[in-house]
Chain A
Amino acid sequence: MASRRIVNYKLIILANISIIWVVFAFLFLYNIILIDKNDVTGRSLIIFSLAFATIGFIVSASLVFYLKNAFRHYPFWLSVILKMLLALALFVLIAFVMLASYYVFGQQGTLNEFADDFYRNVFLSRAFMIFMFDLAVMTLLTIIMLEVVDKYGPGGFWGMIRGKYVKPRIENRIFIFLDINNATSIAEKLGHTKYFRLLRDFFAEITIPLLANGGEIYQYVGDEVVLSWKNTPLNKQRCFKFLRQSFFLLKRREPKFIKRYGVSPTFKAGIHSGEVTAGVIGIVKKDLVYSGDTLNTTARIRSKCHELEESFVVSEGFLHEFSTPFAYKVNEIGEMELKGRTEKEKLFSVIFE
């Protein structure tokens, strides 16, 4: 079910976390060498790191791709415990497979001798205990990291570490305000809890085209989501593609939504671009904020959708220096007053052909 784009995005996170595992492998090896000199002297650092990277990769991969959503209906602390248990089971399984292959290919002697030998020399050694313990700590850190990265959104965590918005900076950005049609009447029909689930599924669906086109989720405002791109001709095209792909994706998912909720959501969007000031705001709750008239204008364009009876409305500012690809039909449909400007801004509708 997960699309290629989401897999790619998760792979990047996976690679980053594996790097963290390798860094910790060096630290841990130092610990273990100190404790159990005889056991580890024969092994080289590279093999140890490689082993750690492999285990880290397997554990993180299972967390990222399978376990992450498996327990999402449980409270976080409970899901952490369950995930840790499963990861432990995975360790044991991997260890067992490795031992079996070692027995088949490398061991001289009977099975009993081997088992006895293994139990005494490996399983009960202090190094093994510490090793298991270190793995558990790493798994816990991985689970927490995965959760935190999702809070920041794609690129957000990295932006925070890099300090991209430590000083406010002026950026030229494209914004899309996207809203479900007839939200109030759907909510009344479904009841609020079911409506919330619909909203969640809806946002989950449009995540795929969003990632495919390199967009960024700025924030959720009520039932509305605000998406953003850097303002370049290429991104304008991507922005159009995103609309088109979401539109058709939701059409394809219509039976699923109807079966589950009795209605299929459609959306309207207002698109505009311009300068905003970007920076981090707040003391006890910090957040990246884009401030400026561009956002207010985009919100107003979105609210014009209803009035003009069009699903997708684009401003003249967005279309400036941009030739629309053939697959899209753009028609002038009206104009709107802008704050602080005497001329009116022309508005255009977008239709897919």
Chain B
Amino acid sequence: MASKRVFLYRLYIVFSIVVIWVLASLVLLYNIVEVDKEVLESRRLSFFSLAFAIVGIIVVSAEAFFLKDAFRKSPIWLSTILRMTLTFLLFLVVSIIVLFAYYLFRYQGELSFMNFEKNFVQNVILTPGFLMAMIDLGVLSFISILVLEIADKYGPGGLKNLIRGRYHKPRKENRIFLFLDINDSTTIAEQIGHEKYFNMLHDFFADITDPILANWGHIYQYVGDEIVICWKNTPVNKLRCLKFVKQAVLTFKRKENYYLKEYGVVPTFKTGIHAGDVTAGYIGIIKKDLIFSGDTLNTAARIRSKCHELNHSFILSIDFLHNFEAPDKYNITEIGEMEFKGRKEKSKVYSLEFN
């Protein structure tokens, strides 16, 4: 069910976490070498790191791609325990396979299983080095699970921006904002009940994630039933923004049957698109968040609310179209004027349609 874009994004996170594993392996090797000199004397550091990287990739991929969604409906503490147990089983399976390979190709002693087992249990499993490796792997798996969860809270790029300190001082940015809202949300909610409506909202935002990632959009925030997406203001991103709207429409056309079956309605949406200067920075003491502040956002919200009045699904502002030539497949027509805060004259707004 996870699409290609979400998959690629997760792959990127998996590799970031594996880097942490490799760094940790360098540190842990030092510990284990100290504990068990004989066992590890002949092994090389690069070899050990490689082994750790491979185990890391297997474990973190399993977490990110399968286990994460498998226990989505259980609380984190429970899902963590279940996932750690499964991960432990995975270790065992991997180590047994590796040992069998060793047994088949390299083992020089008598081919008696009892003998081998005795050797194996005494020389490998019961050594302090092995126990420590297991504990370290356990701690790393646990940290990986937490990092996966926290990365999702910050959203794509959010953690990176925080670490790089991109917004540690407020800065002015020119950005495109797209406000997107489900049509007739109140009516739908009353019709299908609030709990079911919330599940539909969840599915709706899940399905829209794909076109957002495909077009490099940044999810700024969820405001009620509305989602705010933004891009840096460049001609390429303007095109991506239009592409996003088109792909999102097609996505819900494709999923029509699913929504009809599950909820009895197919969600459609309206959008208001605007571009302009905002100030970006972190705000808050006990709840810190990256916020964009400025009239651009209020205007974008007001353009979105004009959709109903003007009876058009997708409305663009003249500021968005400034210095931008839309390709022929997008039909952009002037549909009226509205007041922008801080401007004397009314500004034009346009509708967007697809040919």
Chain A residues in the interface with B (C-beta under 8 A): 6, 9, 27, 30-31, 34-35, 72-79, 126, 130, 133, 137, 147-148, 150-154, 156, 160-164, 166-168, 170, 184, 187-188, 192-193, 195-197, 199-200, 203-204, 207, 211, 217, 219-223, 275, 277, 279, 281-287, 289-293, 295-296, 339-340
Contact = CB atoms under 8 A, between A and B. Distances in A.
Interface stretch (B105-113, B158-166, B309-317, B324-332): B158-166
Interface in B135-184: 135, 139, 149-150, 152-156, 158, 162-166, 168-172
Contacts of A197: 170
B257 interface: no
Nearest to B171: A193
A347 to B, nearest CB: 21
Given A188-B342, A277-B198, A282-B219, A196 B279 contact: yes
A154 B287 contact: yes
A339 B165 CA distance: 43
Contact of A34 (B74, B128, B289): B128
A223 B90 CA distance: 49
A203 B283 contact: yes
A162 B195 contact: no
Interface in B287-311: 287-289, 291, 293-295, 297-298
Contacts of B213: 284
Interface in B185-203: 186, 189-190, 194-195, 197-199, 201-202
Nearest to B207: A283
Contact of B209 (A6, A150, A151, A283): A283
A74 B155 contact: no
Contact of B165 (A78, A167, A281): A78
A168 B190 contact: no
Contacts of A166: 72-75
B202 A163 contact: no
Contacts of B74: 163, 166
A62 B47 CA distance: 40
B293 A199 contact: yes
Contact of A196 (B9, B189, B293): B293
A284 B155 contact: yes
B76 A160 contact: yes
Contacts of B235: none
Nearest to A126: B34
A219 B199 CA distance: 21
A147, A163, A293, most chain B CB atoms within 10 A: A163
Given A147-B162, A285-B155, A296-B224, A27 B135 contact: yes
Given A31-B31, A162-B76, A292-B194, A73 B168 contact: yes
Contact of A77 (B163, B190, B289, B293): B163
Contacts of B163: 75-77
A219 B150 CA distance: 18
9 contacts: A35-B35, A150-B285, A163-B79, A193-B171, A222-B297, A279-B202, A282-B205, A282-B209, A289-B222
Nearest to A72: B168
The 9 closest A-B pairs by CB, nearest first: A163-B75, A75-B165, A285-B155, A153-B287, A168-B198, A196-B170, A217-B287, A150-B288, A277-B198
Contacts of A34: 35, 128, 132
B78 A163 contact: yes
Contacts of A291: 194, 197-198, 201, 224-225
Given A34-B35, A76-B165, A156 B198 contact: no
Contacts of B57: none
A160 B169 CA distance: 29
B34 A295 contact: no
B27 A133 contact: yes
A283 B64 CA distance: 12
Contact of B293 (A73, A156, A222): A222
B323 to A, nearest CB: 22
Contacts of A188: 342
Contacts of B169: 73
B286 interface: yes
A223 B186 contact: no
Contact of B279 (A130, A152, A156, A193): A193
Interface string B268-293: 00000000010101011111110101
A162 B166 CA distance: 32
A287 B89 CA distance: 32
B222 A281 contact: yes
A40 B162 CA distance: 41
Given A34-B128, A184-B295, 13 more contacts: A9-B286, A73-B169, A78-B165, A163-B77, A187-B295, A196-B170, A197-B170, A203-B283, A207-B286, A282-B222, A284-B155, A284-B209, A289-B222
A217 B287 CA distance: 7
Given A77-B163, A150-B286, A163-B75, A284 B186 contact: no
B206 A283 contact: yes
A187 B75 CA distance: 43
A5 B287 CA distance: 15
B201 A192 contact: no
A34 B131 CA distance: 11
Contacts of B76: 160-163
Nearest to A35: B34
Given A34-B128, A75-B165, A188-B342, A285 B152 contact: yes
Interface string B1-43: 0000010010000000000000000010001001100000000
Nearest to A223: B293
A284 B206 CA distance: 9
B161 to A, nearest CB: 9
Contacts of A204: 284-285
B165 A74 contact: yes
A75, A196, A289, A295, most chain B CB atoms within 10 A: A196
B221 interface: yes
